[in-house]
């Protein structure tokens, strides 16, 4: 949740003197802050390193690296002795690591991101590593065409205690993608572009700024010369520069304030192959429940449990399907995790709410924040304190911050005891009988966000949190269809909640453990400046310790938050995922997280944070989706549809309802102070949502199948155009069109308040999804006018087969009772292929799943594969008809539709064995 209301926090003043000081602080040296940006020659003249003792093997090499001259010590002390490790791990993956000889410099823990390993013969690998001993540099080449993919020649390596620089040359005008999380162009700018990676709360997702996640992987697409990827396994704050040198050379440059150089090169050579190879490193996506593809509704500011029920009822009345209802921190007692407000969200009525939703085949999701209200008597806090899960000050007291409940303690998610404590809270509070039987969980504020701006301010509970005041609740008084009598209108008044005003929030103290981890392998160097490192990465929130847990806090294993901050949210989310597994061991967990790190997608899902109700953020949601799904291996992602901050506009919201229906995660969510923006609020959004959700639900098995194959082989379920047309240069910069799966080209209207759209159709056969009309793409832009606010252009790519349901439904449970229709879109060669994956939609173990391949070959249709899913009670595994588009006349079996130029072949056929037909 956003903290945009934050205005000013009290200066520490005399109050600070009474508290233990974390360390002697001095203001930053103005002679050093930002110096690297003003004068790159400061590091350009550093001596670099010389390689010696080079030991080669069949699968790699090792070498010693020695500082090649006098230390320059620009931002910290140069390390004199380094090690080089080169490993050919597979034929497509090369691992290159440069680290300190004493192995003290921090390296990401194996339990956070397990290493892939593997051994391959260098002479058989697709990539080739070359070493220049003095001055040390290296290059990586693609053997098949001699293309140099990475080359550090001409710029010396700098490896200091709090600054590391490595630069590689790039081709002129390169096509670089990834390096999330950001709201910048999908294909990254290549001049004067700085990509800061420091996870932080980011109100209204600013451009050219660090946001909530760290994914230091980039894809370099070179058209017919291939695509490759480079992943830097480093969690320290950093800035990656894309620029042109004074000599005219294009380059990419890593600048970190800690950690080692731990690079993984992925050979590709097709874009989707790089996606798979990245999944091999960070993990394949989890398979999420079928129902998560339904439509979700949330808003911060739902007054009480009756209002939540009323929203559900209003969607039913408007005939707009709603699969999942969410509740923000409104439901909590004074914003405390694992509580309910006894007046507005009493436990008994919360249980009734969930029971009613479940009886309607709907789901319920609640929110948690990492900060635990640090007061004796708060059961989760007392239990956590006893278990020793919270960060500690030097004197053994809890390190405290400020979040929604007021003064909070912060769990150390690396502490093994934290998992047991967190799981206990889940088992108690979300118990199906005694608690709230949630279906999923949402973890927020987990960068972690701290309402205290400064690093050295005492927490003050006054005004934290704001106390609810007694006012009439703003319900309409209408009956709520489908809910028990206790939810119907009464004359009673209930409590409300004030805005999340931070006006009264005071400052937070910074008392941290000063024990250092020196002498322990990979724990981090001692005696570093955790507040004011002389190289300033340029976070948009200020210094690296501002608005978060102080980075000199020590984790249980001796590492520091300085090095591990960027995966704090990742570890909270994965801990939560494990707790959900314990709670419901047989079912796939659904955990949505705001903060992410490389590999988060193997366990959890993500939304793009606190965006705004603007056309630009409508467009940005496409760019963010393309990067996360296709390059960061986080497939179930999406934005707050219609925007979180600012008042939504009905016309933009109608467009967004349609756009969001073709993105993986589909949730309408808004901030407390905004006007209501549920789809039923305006006639135009009702129409748009009805069409959007109707279409999304019909296509649900198609996209669920695409998710399954991303979990299995890493092929993205959302494709940028250049992934499918890698040699078409016109596709390389397209960022507002995408393939939903591999068959459906989505081309939304993206100009503010416009009814026209210009989109690109590659040189290929396409069919209009809505009319099935045949279209020959010519590799040109196409402009279409009079696109209503209830319409969105969608095309089927020739050569594909789309399985979809004959009808939509109000819930995914009812949807699964509908029969199938297969849409065949023959390609230029008269052939088409598709896939269909069927399972029960929620079980972790699927012994009876079906994986069906659909084939069309010039008049002959066939199904092959594994046919083991027979459908649960009432479910349909029947195909009622097959539609073959682009046909000239009827032949053999089938009915010819002259107006549509297609043949319909009537079933039924069961998806429990092979079958087919010939026209």
Residues involved in catalysis: 444, 447, 610
Other C-beta atoms closer than 10 Å to the C-beta of 519 total 10
Structure tokens belonging to residue 408: 């909070």
Neighbouring C-beta atoms of residue 829, cutoff 10 Å: 11
Q: Which of 793, 439, 748 is nearest to 622 (CA)?
A: 748
Work out the number of other CB atoms within 10 angstroms of the CB of residue 405: 25
* Whole-number Cα distances in Å, 341 to 328, 359, 429, 432, 443: 12, 24, 14, 19, 19
Residue that is written with structure tokens 């509580």 in the block:
339
| Residue/partner pairs of 590-593 with CB below 8 Å, 24 or more apart | 590/288, 590/289, 590/292, 590/365, 590/439, 590/440, 590/441, 591/440, 591/441, 591/442, 591/443, 592/365, 592/440, 592/441, 592/442, 592/443, 592/665, 593/442, 593/443, 593/446, 593/569
With b for 16 or more beta-carbon neighbours within 10 A and e for fewer, the 43-77 pattern comes to beebbbbbbeeeeeeebbbebbbbbbeeebebbbe
Q: Where are the beta strands (DSSP E) in 448-508?
A: none
**Location of structure tokens 């301010």:** 457
Task: Supply 168's token pair.
Answer: 């590689």
Q: Among residues 420, 455, 316, 392, which one has the least CA distance to residue 809?
A: 316
Mention every residue, 6+ apart, whose C-beta is less than 8 A from residue 4. Answer: 203, 204, 610, 645
Cα–Cα distance for residue pair 398/392, rounded to 1 Å: 4
Alpha-carbon distance of 144 to 491, in angstroms, equals 77
> Phi/psi at 843 (nearest 5 deg)?
-75, 145
Closest by CA position to 834, among listed 819, 856, 806: 856
Burial class (CB in 10 A: 0-12, 13-18, 19+), 694: middle
Residue with tokens 């990401």: 108
**Whether 844 contacts 836, CB under 8 Å:** no
How far apart are alpha carbons 431 and 771 in whole angstroms?
49
Count the residues in the chain: 919
Structure tokens at 576: 């939560």
Could you give the C-alpha distances from 361 to 364, 698, 812, 871, in angstroms and in order? 10, 18, 8, 17
User: Residue 794 contacts by C-beta under 8 Å, 6 or more apart in sequence?
Assistant: 662, 744, 745, 746, 747, 768, 769, 770
User: CA-CA distances (angstroms) from residue 730 to 228, 571, 727?
Assistant: 19, 40, 9
The rounded distance, in Å, linking the Cα atoms of 692 and 790 is: 8
Contacts of 422 by beta carbon, 8 Å cutoff, 6+ apart: 411, 575, 576, 579
Closest CA to 212 of 629, 606, 578: 606
- In angstroms, the CA 157 to CA 759 distance is 44
Q: For residue 174, give every residue at least 6 positions away whose Cβ sits within 8 Å of its Cβ, in sequence order, or none.
A: 190, 220, 222, 250
β-pair type (406-409, 137-142) = unpaired
CB atoms within 10 A of CB 300: 22
Give Cα separations from 268 to 92, 620, 721, 722 (angstroms). Answer: 7, 27, 17, 14
């Amino acid at each position: 949740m956003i903290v945009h209301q934050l205005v000013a926090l009290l200066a520490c003043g005399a109050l600070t003197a009474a508290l233990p000081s974390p360390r002697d602080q001095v203001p930053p040296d103005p002679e050093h802050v930002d110096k690297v940006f003003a004068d790159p020659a400061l590091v350009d003249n550093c001596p670099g390193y010389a390689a010696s003792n080079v030991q080669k093997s069949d699968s790699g090499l090792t070498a010693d690296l020695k500082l090649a001259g006098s230390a320059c010590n620009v931002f910290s002390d140069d390390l004199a002795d380094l090690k080089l490790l080169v490993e050919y791990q597979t034929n497509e993956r090369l691992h290159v690591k440069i680290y300190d000889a004493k192995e003290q410099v921090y390296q990401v823990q194996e339990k956070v991101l397990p290493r892939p390993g593997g051994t391959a013969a260098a002479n058989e690998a697709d990539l080739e590593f070359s070493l220049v001993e003095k001055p040390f540099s290296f290059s990586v080449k693609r053997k098949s065409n001699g293309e140099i993919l990475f080359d550090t020649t001409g710029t010396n390596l700098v490896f200091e205690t709090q600054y590391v620089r490595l630069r590689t040359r790039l081709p002129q005008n390169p096509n670089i993608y990834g390096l999330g999380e950001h709201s910048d162009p999908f294909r990254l700018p290549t001049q004067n572009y700085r990509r800061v990676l420091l996870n932080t709360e980011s109100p209204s997702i600013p451009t050219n700024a660090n946001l909530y996640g760290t994914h230091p992987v980039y894809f370099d697409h070179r058209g017919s010369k291939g695509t490759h990827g480079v992943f830097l396994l480093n969690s320290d704050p950093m800035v990656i520069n894309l620029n042109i040198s004074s000599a005219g050379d294009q380059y990419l440059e890593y600048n970190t304030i800690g950690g080692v150089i731990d690079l993984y090169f992925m050979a590709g050579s097709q874009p989707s192959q790089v996606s798979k190879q990245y999944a091999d490193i960070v993990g394949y996506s989890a398979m999420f429940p079928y129902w998560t593809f339904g439509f979700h509704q949330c808003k911060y500011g739902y007054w009480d449990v009756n209002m939540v029920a009323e929203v559900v009822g209003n969607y039913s009345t408007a005939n707009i399907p709603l699969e999942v209802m969410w509740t923000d921190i409104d439901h909590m007692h004074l914003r405390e995790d694992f509580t309910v407000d006894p007046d507005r969200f009493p436990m008994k009525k919360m249980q009734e709410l969930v029971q009613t939703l479940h009886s309607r085949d709907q789901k319920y999701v609640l929110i948690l924040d990492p900060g635990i209200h640090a007061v004796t008597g708060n059961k989760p806090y007392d239990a956590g304190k006893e278990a020793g899960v919270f960060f500690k000050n030097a004197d053994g007291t809890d390190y405290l911050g400020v979040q929604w409940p007021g003064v909070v303690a912060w769990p150390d998610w690396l502490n093994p005891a934290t998992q047991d404590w967190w799981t206990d809270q889940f088992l108690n509070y979300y118990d199906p009988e005694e608690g709230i039987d949630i279906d999923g969980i949402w973890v927020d504020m987990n960068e972690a966000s701290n309402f205290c701006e400064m690093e050295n301010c005492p927490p003050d509970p006054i005004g934290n949190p704001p106390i609810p005041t007694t006012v009439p609740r703003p319900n309409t008084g209408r009956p709520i269809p489908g809910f028990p009598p206790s939810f119907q209108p009464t004359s009673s008044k209930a409590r409300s909640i004030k805005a999340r005003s931070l006006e009264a929030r005071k400052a937070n103290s910074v008392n941290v453990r000063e024990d250092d981890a020196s002498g322990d392998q990979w724990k981090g160097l001692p005696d570093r400046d955790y507040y004011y490192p002389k190289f300033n990465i340029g976070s948009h929130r200020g210094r690296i310790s501002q608005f978060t847990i102080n980075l000199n806090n020590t984790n249980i294993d001796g590492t520091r938050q300085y090095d591990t901050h960027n995966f704090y949210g990742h570890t909270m989310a994965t801990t939560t995922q494990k707790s959900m597994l314990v709670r419901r061991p047989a079912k796939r967990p659904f955990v949505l997280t705001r903060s992410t790190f490389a590999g988060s997608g193997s366990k959890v899902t993500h939304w793009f944070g606190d965006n705004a109700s603007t056309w630009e953020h409508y467009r940005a949601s496409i760019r963010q989706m393309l990067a996360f799904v296709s390059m960061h291996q986080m497939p179930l992602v999406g934005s707050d549809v219609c925007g979180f901050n600012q008042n939504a506009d009905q016309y933009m919201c109608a467009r967004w309802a349609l756009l969001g229906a073709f993105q993986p995660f589909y949730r309408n969510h808004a901030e407390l102070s905004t006007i209501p923006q549920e789809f039923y609020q305006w006639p135009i959004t009702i129409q748009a949502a009805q069409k959007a959700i109707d279409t999304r639900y019909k296509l649900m098995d198609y996209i669920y199948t695409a998710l399954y194959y991303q979990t299995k082989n890493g092929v993205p379920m959302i494709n940028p155009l250049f992934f499918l047309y890698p040699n078409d240069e016109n596709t390389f910069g397209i960022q507002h069109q995408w393939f939903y799966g591999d068959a459906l080209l989505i081309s939304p209207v993206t100009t503010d308040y416009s009814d026209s759209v210009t989109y690109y159709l590659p040189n290929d056969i396409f069919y209009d999804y809505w009319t099935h009309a045949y279209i020959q793409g010519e590799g040109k832009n196409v402009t279409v006018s009079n696109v209503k606010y209830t319409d969105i252009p969608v095309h089927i790519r020739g050569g594909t087969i789309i399985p979809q349901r004959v009808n939509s439904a109000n819930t995914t449970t009812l949807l699964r009772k509908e029969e199938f229709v297969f849409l065949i879109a023959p390609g230029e060669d008269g052939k088409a292929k598709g896939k269909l994956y069927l399972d029960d939609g929620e079980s972790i173990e699927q012994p009876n799943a079906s994986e069906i391949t659909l084939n069309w070959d010039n008049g002959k249709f066939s199904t092959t594969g594994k046919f083991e899913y027979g459908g649960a009670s009432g479910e349909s595994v029947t195909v009622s008809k097959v539609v073959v588009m682009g046909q000239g006349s009827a032949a053999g079996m089938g009915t010819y539709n002259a107006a549509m130029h297609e043949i319909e072949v009537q079933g039924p056929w069961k998806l429990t064995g092979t079958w087919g037909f010939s026209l």
